[in-house]
Amino acid sequence: MPSPTPTILVVGATGNTGRATVRTLSADLAGQNVRILGLTRSVDSEPAQELRKLPLVEIGGKYWPEIDAAWLRDRNVVKAFVAVSPSDAQFTDESLLYRALLEARVEYVVRISTWAPYIGPASPIFYGRSHWALETMLEDPSFDALMWTSLRPTVFSRQMVEPAAEAIKKYRSTGSFGHVSLWLAADVPGAWIEPDDVGKIAGKLLVLADPSPHASQKYVINGPEDITGNDIIAEMERLTGGKVTDVSFGSDNIFNSFRENGVPEKLIRSLWTAIGMFLDGKARFSEVEPTAQSIMDLAPPTTTCRETLRYLAGEK
C-alpha cells in the first residue's frame, strides 16, 4: 500500500554530500508531515546509525540502480537528492533513475554533478562526459515535468587535506609525521569546497516550497578562499608544533588503492587528467566561474580548508 507520508529520497545518504543533506532536511523540516528516506550501501555503518537518530529520517539499503517508478510511487516520493560515485556505468544507471522519477511524477530533484571545467562532450575525464550527457538529457523537453537543479562543485577539500589530517594523527601518537603525500601543488592555489557546504545547499533547495526559480539550473559552487599545498603544511605545523620534513606535492599515490581494488588503468589515467587540471591552476579564484549568486543568497559556502583539516584531525 502506498505511503501516505510525502517522502524526500536521498540517494547516497552517507556519502560526501549526502550526510549534510540529510541533516539539513531533518533540521529544517522538523515538525512537518514528511519522511526523509536515505539510501546507502552501508546501513549498519556509523554514519548510517547517526543519521537514523535524526527526526524524520529512515535509512534503507535499497540498491538505487534498481529503483523504478512503482517503487517511488509506493513510497510517495515527491522530491529527491542524487549523489552517486563516478563509474563507467554512471550514465546508464543515473539516467534510468531520472526516467523513473519522471514516470513517478516526482516534483523536483537536486543532483550532484562535478567541477564545471570537467564537463563536456569531449572532456578527457570520463565522468565529465557522463555528467554532460545527463544534464543534456534533463534539458530535453521530454523531461519538462521533472524540475531539477544540478550542483557543480569544485574539487572537495576533504580529498585535498585528508592525508594531512592522517599525518597529524600519526604525529600525535608517534612524534613523527612520516612521509606526507598531497595531491595539491606546493604553490598553486585552488578554491576547494567542503562537501558539507554542498550538502547543506542541496538540503536548502529541497526544503523550498517552490523550487521553480531553481529549475533547470546548473550552479557553480566554489570554496570561500584559495589555498595551496604549502598553506596546508604550514597549518599542520601550527596545529602540532612539529616540522614537516618529508613531503611530496602533486602526488598520484592515491591511485595505488584504486589499482589494488581493480579499477581499470584507463579510468585511473582519466582521473589523473582531472587532477592535472587543478595542478595547472585552473581552480584558483581568478580562473574559476564565481559561485552562483542564487547559491550565495541561499546558503553561501563558508568552510575553509583549514577548518576541514582541523575537523578531520580531531580538533575541537
Angle at 77 between CA 110 and CA 129, to 5 degrees: 35
- How far does the chain reach from its first CA to its final CA, in angstroms? 47
pLDDT, tens digit, 9 for 90 and up, residues 225-251: 999 999 999 999 999 999 999 999 988
Tell the residue number behind the cell numbers 599525518, with chain if given: 167
C-alpha 257: how far from chain center: 20
For the cut 90, the answer to whether the pLDDT of residue 261 exceeds it is no
The pLDDT score that the predictor gives to residue 32 is 96
CATH (one of 2.160.10.10, 3.40.50.720, 3.40.50.300, 3.40.50.1110) for 7-155+193-221: 3.40.50.720
Tell the residue number behind the cell numbers 592555489, with chain if given: 189
For the cut 60, the answer to whether the pLDDT of residue 177 exceeds it is yes
Q: What is the mean predicted confidence (pLDDT) over 284-288? A: 83
Angle at 10 between CA 155 and CA 79, to 5 degrees: 110
Q: What is the pTM of this model?
A: 0.94
pLDDT, tens digit, 9 for 90 and up, residues 24-78: 999 999 999 999 999 998 888 999 999 999 999 999 989 999 999 999 999 999 9
Q: What is the mean predicted confidence (pLDDT) over 284-294? A: 89
The pLDDT score that the predictor gives to residue 225 is 92
The alpha carbon dihedral of 172, 174, 180, 186 has a sign of positive
For residues 252 and 272, the answer to whether their CB atoms sit within 8 Å is yes
Ranges of each domain in the chain: 7-155+193-221, 157-191+223-287+303-312
pLDDT, tens digit, 9 for 90 and up, residues 96-115: 999 999 999 999 999 999 99
